[in-house]
């Protein structure tokens, strides 16, 4: 099964992926863990270009295509082969991030972003997507504000959130919103419950 995590910056997504990993390791359930953009030699190089704050001249379309290029490599080099071997794949961000960040927040248009990503994902959508449902302006955590996208305005990040919310409706139940609790263990339990229900984990 293919499981992805989505959410705005500062909502504790990476912590939750790590807690899920700890649980699966502890209970002897193997999985392949990847993050976007990155997780292949080529995709990590693309990640550096995207994140570099010196790249102020990067156009929206370049950014969108770099995310798609990183994804194309990851799907073919890691995700699809692992799924074909029958393994569980857990990915921190995937195409829904491009839809929310580039499609909605950058205003490039959802259909355009889906078109750019179609050859990258080649029909591969997650079985389950956990969306950590917290509006960034209401988040109790703070951004690191080090990379190019994190430096965007609060308004940009709220648009990302609205984009995700809009996508949930059309996802036929694939994207499942999970409310983060102040207690990260409570959030982790909520996520395990959803993944058990979907048959992704035991």
What residues line the site for ligand TYD (CB under 6 A)? 9, 13-14, 35-37, 67, 92-93, 97-98, 101-102, 149-150
Minimum CB distance to ligand TYD, residue 48 (Å):
11
Helix axes 60-74, 41-51, angle to 10 degrees: 160
d(CA 176, CA 194): 8
Computed from CA positions of residues 1, 75, 150, 98, in that sequence, does the dihedral angle turn out positive or negative?
Answer: negative
Q: Is the CB of 31 or the CB of 100 nearer to ligand TYD?
A: 100
Q: Is the CB of 29 or the CB of 114 nearer to ligand TYD?
A: 114
Q: Is the CB of 58 or the CB of 83 nearer to ligand TYD?
A: 58
Minimum CB distance to ligand TYD, residue 202 (Å):
27
| Whether 114 contacts 126, CB under 8 Å | no
Q: Is the CB of 36 or the CB of 133 nearer to ligand TYD?
A: 36
Minimum CB distance to ligand TYD, residue 92 (Å):
6
Q: Is the CB of 162 or the CB of 197 nearer to ligand TYD?
A: 162
| Nearest residue to 93 (alpha-carbon basis) of 129, 51, 147, 117 | 129
Minimum CB distance to ligand TYD, residue 10 (Å):
8
Minimum CB distance to ligand TYD, residue 123 (Å):
17
d(CA 37, CA 69): 9
Q: Is the CB of 138 or the CB of 197 nearer to ligand TYD?
A: 138
| Nearest residue to 51 (alpha-carbon basis) of 37, 41, 61 | 37
Instruction: Find all residues with CB under 8 Å of 198, minimum gap 6, and list them.
Output: 1, 127, 128
- The helix/strand/coil state of 129 is strand
Minimum CB distance to ligand TYD, residue 103 (Å):
9
In the complex, residue closest to ligand TYD by CB? 101
108: Cα separation from own chain's centroid? 18
């Amino acid at each position: 099964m293919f499981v992805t995590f989505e959410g705005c910056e500062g909502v504790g997504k990476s912590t939750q992926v790590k807690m899920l990993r700890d649980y699966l390791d502890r209970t002897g359930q193997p999985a392949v863990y990847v993050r976007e953009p990155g997780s292949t030699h080529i995709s990590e190089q693309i990640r550096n270009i995207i994140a570099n704050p010196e790249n102020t001249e990067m156009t929206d379309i370049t950014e969108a295509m770099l995310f798609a290029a990183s994804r194309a490599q990851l799907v073919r080099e890691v995700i699809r082969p692992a799924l074909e071997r029958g393994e569980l794949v857990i990915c921190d961000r995937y195409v829904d991030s491009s839809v929310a960040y580039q499609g909605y927040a950058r205003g490039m248009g959802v259909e355009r972003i889906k078109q750019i990503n179609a050859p990258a994902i080649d029909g591969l959508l997650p079985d389950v997507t956990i969306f950590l449902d917290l509006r960034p302006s209401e988040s109790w955590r703070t951004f690191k504000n080090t990379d190019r996208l994190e430096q965007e305005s609060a308004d940009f990040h709220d648009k990302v959130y609205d984009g995700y919310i809009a996508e949930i409706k059309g996802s036929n139940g694939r994207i499942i919103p999970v409310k983060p609790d102040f207690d990260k263990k409570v959030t982790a339990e909520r996520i395990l419950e959803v993944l058990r229900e979907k048959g992704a984990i035991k």
